[in-house]
Amino acid sequence: MKKQELIKTVAVTTELTQKQVKEVLDATEVVLKDVMKNEDEITVFGVKFATRLQKGRDGVSPMTGEPYHTEDKIVPKLKAMKSLKEACL
């Protein structure tokens, strides 16, 4: 389901306008980004959004044989909660 389809479905279900639903979804996206930017965690819709540290690693370029090192970085981490997993069964 794409975002526009989600907006239409939620608008019909809640009797809100599509514009209102879009504003709520956009605001939710902003809040999620802010929470993750601050390296905090939040659970929404049965999904836990968090961040984790991905450690850098050493490797060798297959084309040149040159060794390289990637730096540590913060990456998003998503985990489906039990209620969402059970809904998929």
Q: Is the pLDDT of residue 45 over 90?
A: no
- Predicted model pTM: 0.69
pLDDT-derived band at 87 (thresholds 50, 70, 90) equals confident
Can you tell me the mean pLDDT for 32-40? 89
Contacts of 16 (CB under 8 A, 6+ apart): 10
With CA atoms as reference, report the closest residue to 77 among 29, 35, 26, 25: 35
Q: Is the pLDDT of residue 71 over 90?
A: yes
Tokens matching residue 70: 């990637």
Can you tell me the mean pLDDT for 52-66? 94
